[in-house]
């Protein structure tokens, strides 16, 4: 191995690049996409107010409060909260100071929830039940491979109590074997009483980045 060392400034740049690369993996891809939307709105707002770039990072409480106040009543409270967290994540990734007045920010977020426009509110949906699933099955042709696939996905996510997004993909081209369930992730196991259990290994989820197992088993009665 060569005894020569990299110049100090090069070592520092490599270290900073590595920190940026690692810390950017702290958020799930879907979360980063949501946060990206917030950053876009953040910059559009400041552009409209002719606020210089230098005042945007690090952002101060006064400007963030103005941003949140401008969005209140136009977006849902949860959307505004996500946008704020996106701006915070942006600061963290780039090593910028995030020092806001928490009481004021929290009060604005609370107000944003109460000011959520009716167009952004949805009434609670009825939960899926075995009866609903049975009614769906009555309208499917379980000799049709597509119908069988849909019904299998529905019953698996229901009885394994998982999120639909953990077993589905938006498009065929979006499949990622590092994240999505593959045939090799499906197995039949037996519990301590010798009963057969259908096990599914989820390679990666928001709450379990290293993966987790979910399962369902046939019950009598």
Indicate whether 44 and 137 sit together in one domain. no
Q: Quick one: 113 and 165 in the same domain?
A: no
Can you give the residue range of the structural domain that contains 149?
130-217
> Which of the four pLDDT bands, split at 50, 70 and 90, describes residue 2?
very low
Residue 170 has pLDDT above 60, yes or no: yes
Residues 31 and 55 in one domain: yes
Q: Enter the tokens of residue 52.
A: 């210089």
Both 70 and 167 in a single domain? no
Statement to judge: residues 115 and 212 lie in one domain: no
- 65 neighbors 105 (Cβ within 8 angstroms): yes
Q: Which tens digit of pLDDT belongs to each residue from 132-166?
A: 999 999 999 999 999 999 999 999 999 999 988 89
Does residue 48 belong to any structural domain of this protein?
Answer: yes
Task: Report the domain count for the chain.
Answer: 2
The pTM is what? 0.57
Residue 202: CB atoms within 10 A of its CB come to 19
| Same-domain check for residues 12 and 53 | yes
Task: Label residue 84 exposed, middle or buried (CB < 10 Å: 0-12, 13-18, 19+).
Answer: buried
What's the pLDDT score for residue 196? 92
Is residue 109 in some structural domain?
A: yes
On whether residue 3 sits in a domain, the answer given is no
Q: Are residues 109 and 149 in the same domain?
A: no
Round the average pLDDT of the chain to a whole number and report it: 83
**Both 143 and 198 in a single domain?**
yes
Quick one: pLDDT band at residue 1, thresholds 50, 70, 90? very low
pLDDT in tens, 83-133: 998 888 888 877 888 888 788 888 988 998 888 887 777 788 888 899 999
C-alpha pair distances (Å), 209 with each of 29, 158, 164, 218: 11, 22, 17, 29
3-class secondary structure per residue, the chain: CCCCCCCHHHHHHHHHHHHHHHHHHHCCHHHHHHHHHHHHHHHHHHHHCCCCHHHCCCCCHHHHHHHHHHHECCECHHHHHHHHHHHHHHHHHCCCCCCCCHHHHHHHHHHHHHCCCHHHCCCCCCCCCHHHHHHHHHCCCCCCHHHHHHHHHHHHHHHCCCCHHHCCCCCHHHCCCCCCCCHHHEEEEECCCCCEEEEEEECCCCCCCCCEEEEECCCCC
Say if residue 34 is in the same domain as residue 65. yes
Looking at residue 32, its pLDDT comes to 62
Which of 62, 92, 120 corresponds to the end of one domain?
120
Same domain, 61 and 140: no
Whether residues 115 and 170 share a domain: the answer is: no
Specify the residue for token string 């020092």. 99
* Mean pLDDT computed over 1-28: 55
pLDDT digits (tens, 9 = 90+) for 204-220: 887 788 889 999 998 77
């Amino acid at each position: 191995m060569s005894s020569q060392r990299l110049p100090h400034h090069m070592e520092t740049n490599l270290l900073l690049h590595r920190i940026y690369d690692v810390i950017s993996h702290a958020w799930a891809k879907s979360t980063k996409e949501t946060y990206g939307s917030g950053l876009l709105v953040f910059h559009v707002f400041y552009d409209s107010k002719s606020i210089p770039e230098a005042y945007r990072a690090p952002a101060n409480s006064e400007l963030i409060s103005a941003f949140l106040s401008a969005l209140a009543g136009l977006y849902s409270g949860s959307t505004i909260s996500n946008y704020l967290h996106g701006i915070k994540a942006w600061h963290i990734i780039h090593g910028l100071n995030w020092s806001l007045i928490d009481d004021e920010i929290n009060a604005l977020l609370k107000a944003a929830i109460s000011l959520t426009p009716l167009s952004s509110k949805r009434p609670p949906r009825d939960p899926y039940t075995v009866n609903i699933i049975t009614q769906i099955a009555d309208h499917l042709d379980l000799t049709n491979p597509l119908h069988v696939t849909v019904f299998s996905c529905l019953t698996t996510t229901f009885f394994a109590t998982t999120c639909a997004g953990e077993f589905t993909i938006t498009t065929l081209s979006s499949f990622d074997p590092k994240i999505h369930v593959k045939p090799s992730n499906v197995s039949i196991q037996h519990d301590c009483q010798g009963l057969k259990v259908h096990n599914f290994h989820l390679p990666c989820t928001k709450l379990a980045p290293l993966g987790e197992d979910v399962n369902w088993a046939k019950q009598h009665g």
